[in-house]
């Protein structure tokens, strides 16, 4: 029984029950053979290392809203879920686990380690998607994918080989960002810079066979054993005598030349730079220009190399220990002339925050410039749009200055590079399969995890089989929804790869939302301990509450969103409001038939609410089509709470008590509830489904999630009645105001006398019952009298006056003050408006409607002004 439904909405049990209902009925499954137009989204695949965090919750909610909206709007909607193998991140986690057991990956060996990681990945692969169920995610789990599964791996090989054959992938020795902890190269975008307080040491390099020295400033004295030259600017007169001479490296004694190169900034430090091509990107370039052979002095673990160039006492020392020892020795031997504080930016590994070591090594790269061309064009010519637009600039700026992408990683967990080397000759073959396993060994490096993510929109759809049903039906996808933090990592690469391999942009729109932050605006992170767990929020407030709150906080500009636990009360309270309003309607639907309401029997209030509903549906559709998703939440909140609940439901109580209106009112109540639930469903799927199922009405739809989404309907447009209803609202609000101002309890009914304007009298008569009930009025009388009312409060509404005789209840001085205050406000407004009308240029330039509007407002104010003046006079008398 409806009466037995609790007055507090039980989100937890409802959400569980409803999700099960959808899932068991296979309602999330998309049909590639459907005749309906396609609408598809591929999920930004979460890492298998992670658990659901607030960022996912927002991202997934927005996607689910779009998917559910389009599903209801007649599209064949596919939301394809999946996860990312997340190369370094996952390997780090598994290695950490091993370390706790006192083991390293090398103790296990590659094969065993991979087995271990697969087990781990398989265990966690579904965990995060299972958590998404709590959000109500309507994705198609039958199509779940993993960046490391067979299909995605085949796509990776296909792409690698094709790019290699086109000359767009090459292998070579360059300076890369090397993480000594991960012991792998990482790409430029995986390197984050932090400002650190360091030192600038000035070191003296004595000239060979003569007196004198050159003084060099460096932040990295530990690399001096790798120096191959000292460089000065060619035009620097200070040093012109020295160019071409030879100096001796302190502590090691190796001899190196002084060279001239324009790279040197004369104004920085001493104007002389030590050149260490193996450990600095700029020095590498200088070294190449001058044909200087690089010397490695730091190894992959960040330790001093045990080689001839490095004095034995430093062998195996950590780079920072070595730095300290070298500085000490330099100082002791008087090579160190000065030490200065120096603030500089230091590269850190995105995954483990270890300081990056620029290291010369042999790696695989993707030549980006040729690929970027089309990726730039697609955004410039509008085939791909970013929302908000400003991200286009960001994307283009990066793309136009793009550098080659280092794609090889010295890891085990990832797609192994499909290059094979002959065991004897070393000859290299790049192919999807090993040409001859007997004699060829595969490259031991794996690919950057973003290489496979970059193929995600099509590798998940069956590509390279372009004839697969999914690829034909659902590719390109309809939109990409993500945060701005992965535009370079992911979005740019999907666009590049999508265009190169499918000749189509993988999506026409990139919808970028803000990032979730804590209440102080700080990024949420485990180390800061300021994270909010979405599952905890769902347990406490409900999934719909979480979704509604987050959605309402989304702005079109994609601003970051600050949240705190309590903010979710907003959505929870709204869910509860929906629940209770629904309970009321359902309780009052007993005995109603299945017919739609009778247009001929609609009252002014019925027409008003239908008109409002209609406008709301129109606005909802317009807003969501323009990705103003936050706005959809606001208009639904306003419509449902402030219009349907606060006014229509209250007035419906009066109509339900009237036998001649009862049935049609029931039908309107039901209709508006039904449509409201449909409008709310994309944002709050569970509660709307639950309530909708309780509505006693046969429907052609099995579930609200499959019902038609409301659109604008000419037949429900009643602008005239909507206008007339203003009189109801104004009258009731003024009467309530009077009541409150004089502390008249609701239990005390009073009579009113309406001195109606002749155009408004019939409307007042039509709405008498509403005024009586909602303003607690006993009797209403009409009068044409212009006499001063005696000892009354009064309200001026539109062009009419309402007199409230309250002889013993009010202080007339207070009433005079009250009226005076209103009068002052009106006069102020009138002055401003008449001032405007006196301005000739305004009258000349302003649009006609505005002038008309201004005129009629002035007239209106004049009438009200007179009325109030009369009132004040009579009160004073």
Residues in CB range of 605: below 8 A, 6 or more apart: 647, 648, 651, 652, 655, 725, 728, 770
Name which of residues 396 to 425 contact RNA (CB under 7 A).
Answer: 397-398, 401
Site stretch for RNA (CB under 7 A), options 169-177, 445-453, 659-667, 737-745? 737-745
Counting every residue written for the chain, the total comes to: 877
Does 618 bind RNA (CB under 7 A)? Our answer is no
Please, which residue, 401 or 660, has the CB nearer to RNA? 401
Q: Provide, rounded to whole angstroms, the least separation between the CB of residue 733 and RNA.
A: 4
Question: What are the backbone angles phi and psi of residue 366, rounded to the nearest 5°?
Answer: -105, 130
Q: Provide, rounded to whole angstroms, the least separation between the CB of residue 522 and RNA.
A: 8
Q: Provide, rounded to whole angstroms, the least separation between the CB of residue 564 and RNA.
A: 9
Residue selected from 49, 218, 616, 864 as contacting RNA according to rule CB under 7 A: 218
Name which of residues 22 to 61 contact RNA (CB under 7 A).
Answer: none
H or E segment to which residue 163 belongs: helix 150-165
Build a one-symbol-per-residue string for 821-860: x at contacts with RNA by CB under 7 A, - elsewhere: -----------x---x--x-xx--xxx--x----------
Q: Provide, rounded to whole angstroms, the least separation between the CB of residue 693 and RNA.
A: 18
Site stretch for RNA (CB under 7 A), options 38-46, 439-447, 473-481, 548-556? 548-556
Q: Provide, rounded to whole angstroms, the least separation between the CB of residue 503 and RNA.
A: 29
Residue selected from 8, 253, 291, 438 as contacting RNA according to rule CB under 7 A: 8
Residue selected from 331, 442, 555, 820 as contacting RNA according to rule CB under 7 A: 555
Name which of residues 282 to 341 contact RNA (CB under 7 A).
Answer: 282
Site stretch for RNA (CB under 7 A), options 293-301, 389-397, 603-611, 692-700? 389-397
Residue selected from 600, 660, 743, 786 as contacting RNA according to rule CB under 7 A: 743
Q: Provide, rounded to whole angstroms, the least separation between the CB of residue 181 and RNA.
A: 20
Number of residues that bind RNA (CB under 7 A): 83
Does 525 bind RNA (CB under 7 A)? Our answer is no
Tell me how far apart the alpha carbons of residues 201 and 449 are, in angstroms, rounded to a whole number: 39
Q: Provide, rounded to whole angstroms, the least separation between the CB of residue 130 and RNA.
A: 25
Tell me how far apart the alpha carbons of residues 17 and 15 are, in angstroms, rounded to a whole number: 5
Cα–Cα separations (whole angstroms), residue 707 to 27, 38, 136, 688, 689? 12, 17, 17, 12, 10
Please, which residue, 477 or 588, has the CB nearer to RNA? 588
Q: Between vectors from CA 758 to CA 757 and to CA 761, what angle results, nearest 5°?
A: 80
Tell me how far apart the alpha carbons of residues 549 and 684 are, in angstroms, rounded to a whole number: 10
Q: Provide, rounded to whole angstroms, the least separation between the CB of residue 841 and RNA.
A: 3
Residue selected from 183, 434, 439, 559 as contacting RNA according to rule CB under 7 A: 559
Tell me how far apart the alpha carbons of residues 203 and 182 are, in angstroms, rounded to a whole number: 32
Q: Provide, rounded to whole angstroms, the least separation between the CB of residue 3 and RNA.
A: 9
Alpha helices in 681-811 (DSSP H): 685-694, 719-741, 761-766, 768-775
Does 188 bind RNA (CB under 7 A)? Our answer is yes
Build a one-symbol-per-residue string for 647-666: x at contacts with RNA by CB under 7 A, - elsewhere: --xx--x-------------
Cα–Cα separations (whole angstroms), residue 601 to 655, 664, 671, 787? 12, 7, 15, 40
Tell me how far apart the alpha carbons of residues 272 and 190 are, in angstroms, rounded to a whole number: 31
β-partners of residue 780 are: 752
Name which of residues 779 to 808 contact RNA (CB under 7 A).
Answer: none
Task: Give helix 390-400 / helix 492-502 axis angle, nearest 10°.
Answer: 70
Residues in CB range of 579: below 8 A, 6 or more apart: 5, 8, 9, 687, 691
Tell me how far apart the alpha carbons of residues 704 and 89 are, in angstroms, rounded to a whole number: 40
Q: Provide, rounded to whole angstroms, the least separation between the CB of residue 604 and RNA.
A: 19
Does 733 bind RNA (CB under 7 A)? Our answer is yes
Does 705 bind RNA (CB under 7 A)? Our answer is no
Please, which residue, 328 or 397, has the CB nearer to RNA? 397
Pick the closest to residue 807 from 820, 819, 794, 790 (CA basis). 790
Does 199 bind RNA (CB under 7 A)? Our answer is no
Site stretch for RNA (CB under 7 A), options 7-15, 89-97, 304-312, 431-439? 7-15
**Residue 626, both tokens:** 């323009």
Q: Provide, rounded to whole angstroms, the least separation between the CB of residue 360 and RNA.
A: 15
Does 345 bind RNA (CB under 7 A)? Our answer is yes
Place of tokens 């406490």: 540
> How would you label 603-634 residue by residue, b for 16+ Cβ within 10 Å and e otherwise?
bbbbbbbbbbbbbbbbbbbebbeebbbbbbbe
Q: Provide, rounded to whole angstroms, the least separation between the CB of residue 570 and RNA.
A: 4
Name which of residues 478 to 507 contact RNA (CB under 7 A).
Answer: 488
Site stretch for RNA (CB under 7 A), options 288-296, 456-464, 530-538, 566-574? 566-574
Residue selected from 17, 183, 206, 219 as contacting RNA according to rule CB under 7 A: 219
Residue selected from 244, 328, 437, 557 as contacting RNA according to rule CB under 7 A: 557
Please, which residue, 183 or 573, has the CB nearer to RNA? 573
Pick the closest to residue 447 from 413, 421, 471 (CA basis). 413
Tell me how far apart the alpha carbons of residues 706 and 36 are, in angstroms, rounded to a whole number: 13
Site stretch for RNA (CB under 7 A), options 6-14, 131-139, 248-256, 366-374? 6-14
- Residue 388: asked if its preceding bond is cis (omega within 30°), the reply is yes
Please, which residue, 192 or 436, has the CB nearer to RNA? 192
Does 818 bind RNA (CB under 7 A)? Our answer is no
> How would you label 568-577 residue by residue, b for 16+ Cβ within 10 Å and e otherwise?
bebbbebbbb
Name which of residues 238 to 277 contact RNA (CB under 7 A).
Answer: 263-271, 273-274
Tell me how far apart the alpha carbons of residues 768 and 545 are, in angstroms, rounded to a whole number: 39
Site stretch for RNA (CB under 7 A), options 17-25, 86-94, 393-401, 708-716? 393-401
- 185: helix, strand or coil: strand
Pick the closest to residue 672 from 787, 584, 802, 749 (CA basis). 584
Backbone torsion region of residue 782, taken as left when φ is above 0, otherwise alpha when ψ lies between -120 and 50, otherwise beta:
beta
């Amino acid at each position: 029984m409806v009466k037995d439904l609790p007055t507090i909405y039980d989100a937890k049990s409802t959400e569980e029950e409803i999700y099960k209902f959808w899932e068991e009925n296979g309602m999330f499954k998309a049909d590639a053979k459907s005749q309906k137009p396609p609408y598809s989204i591929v999920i930004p695949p979460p890492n298998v290392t992670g658990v659901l965090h607030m960022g996912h919750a927002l991202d997934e909610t927005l996607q689910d809203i779009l998917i559910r909206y389009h599903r209801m709007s007649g599209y064949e909607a596919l939301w394809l879920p999946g996860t990312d193998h997340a190369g370094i991140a996952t390997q780090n986690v598994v290695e950490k686990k091993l370390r706790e057991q006192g083991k390293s990956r090398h103790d296990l060996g590659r094969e065993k380690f991979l087995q271990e990681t697969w087990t781990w990945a398989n265990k966690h692969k579904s965990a995060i998607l299972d958590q998404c169920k709590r959000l109500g995610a309507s994705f198609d789990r039958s199509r779940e994918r993993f960046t490391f599964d067979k299909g995605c791996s085949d796509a990776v090989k296909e792409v690698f080989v094709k790019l290699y054959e086109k000359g767009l992938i090459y292998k070579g020795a360059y300076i890369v960002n090397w993480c000594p902890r991960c012991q792998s190269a990482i790409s430029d975008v995986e390197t984050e810079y932090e400002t650190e307080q360091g030192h600038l040491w000035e070191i003296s390099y004595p000239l060979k066979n003569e007196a004198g020295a050159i003084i060099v400033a460096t932040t990295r004295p530990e690399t001096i054993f790798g120096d191959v030259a000292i460089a000065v600017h060619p035009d620097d007169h200070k040093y012109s005598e020295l160019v071409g001479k030879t100096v001796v490296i302190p502590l090691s004694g190796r001899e190196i030349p002084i060279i001239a190169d324009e790279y040197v900034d004369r104004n920085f430090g001493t104007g002389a730079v030590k050149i260490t091509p193996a450990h600095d990107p700029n020095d590498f370039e200088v070294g190449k220009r001058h044909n200087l052979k690089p010397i490695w002095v730091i190894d992959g673990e960040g330790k001093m190399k045990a080689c001839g160039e490095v004095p034995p006492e430093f062998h195996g020392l950590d780079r920072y220990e070595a730095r300290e020892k070298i500085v000490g020795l330099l100082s002791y031997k008087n090579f160190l002339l000065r030490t200065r504080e120096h603030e500089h930016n230091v590269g850190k590994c995105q995954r483990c925050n270890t300081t990056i070591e620029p290291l010369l090594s042999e790696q695989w790269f993707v030549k980006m410039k040729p690929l970027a061309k089309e990726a730039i064009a697609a955004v410039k010519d509008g085939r791909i749009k970013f929302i908000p637009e400003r991200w286009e600039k960001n994307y283009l700026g990066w793309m136009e200055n793009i550098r080659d992408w280092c794609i090889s990683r010295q890891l085990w967990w990832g797609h192994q590079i499909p290059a094979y080397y002959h065991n004897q000759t070393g000859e290299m073959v790049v192919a999807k399969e090993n040409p001859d396993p007997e004699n060829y060994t595969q490259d031991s490096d794996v690919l950057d995890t973003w290489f496979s993510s970059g193929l995600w929109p099509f590798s998940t759809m069956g590509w390279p089989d372009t004839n697969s049903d999914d690829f034909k039906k659902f590719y390109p996808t309809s939109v990409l929804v993500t945060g701005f933090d992965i535009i370079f990592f992911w979005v740019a690469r999907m666009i590049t790869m999508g265009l190169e391999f499918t000749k189509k942009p993988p999506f026409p729109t990139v919808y970028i939302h803000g990032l979730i932050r804590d209440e102080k605006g700080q990024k949420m992170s485990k180390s800061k301990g300021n994270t909010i767990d979405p599952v905890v929020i769902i347990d406490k407030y409900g999934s719909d509450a979480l979704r509604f709150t987050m959605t309402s906080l989304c702005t079109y500009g994609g601003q970051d969103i600050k949240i705190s636990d309590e903010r979710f009360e907003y959505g929870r309270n709204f869910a509860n409001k929906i629940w209770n309003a629904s309970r009321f309607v359902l309780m009052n639907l007993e005995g109603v038939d299945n017919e739609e309401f009778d247009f001929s029997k609609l009252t002014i209030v019925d027409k008003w609410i239908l008109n409002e509903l209609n406008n709301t549906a129109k606005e909802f559709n317009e807003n969501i089509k323009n990705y103003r998703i936050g706005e959809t939440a606001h208009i639904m909140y306003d419509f449902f709470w402030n219009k349907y609940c606060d006014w229509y439901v209250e007035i419906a109580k009066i109509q339900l008590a009237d036998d001649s209106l009862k049935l049609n009112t029931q039908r309107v109540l039901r209709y508006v509830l039904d449509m409201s639930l449909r409008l709310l469903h994309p944002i709050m799927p569970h509660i709307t489904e639950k309530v909708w199922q309780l509505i006693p009405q046969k429907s052609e739809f099995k579930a609200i999630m499959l019902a038609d989404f409301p659109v604008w309907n000419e037949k429900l447009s009643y602008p005239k009645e909507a206008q007339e209803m203003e009189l109801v609202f104004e009258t009731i609000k003024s009467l309530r105001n009077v009541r409150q101002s004089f502390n008249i309890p609701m239990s005390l009914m009073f009579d009113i006398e309406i001195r109606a304007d002749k155009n408004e009298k019939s409307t007042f008569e039509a709405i008498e019952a509403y005024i009586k009930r909602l303003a607690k009025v006993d009797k209403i009388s009409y009068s044409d009298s212009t006499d001063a009312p005696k000892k009354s409060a009064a309200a001026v509404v539109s062009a009419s006056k309402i007199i409230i005789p309250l002889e013993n209840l009010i202080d007339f001085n207070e009433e005079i003050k009250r009226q005076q205050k209103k009068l002052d406000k009106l006069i102020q407004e009138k002055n401003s408006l008449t001032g405007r009308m006196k301005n000739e240029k305004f009258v000349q330039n302003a649009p006609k409607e505005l002038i008309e509007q201004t005129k009629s407002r002035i007239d209106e104010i004049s009438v009200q002004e007179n009325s109030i003046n009369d009132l004040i006079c009579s009160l004073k008398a």
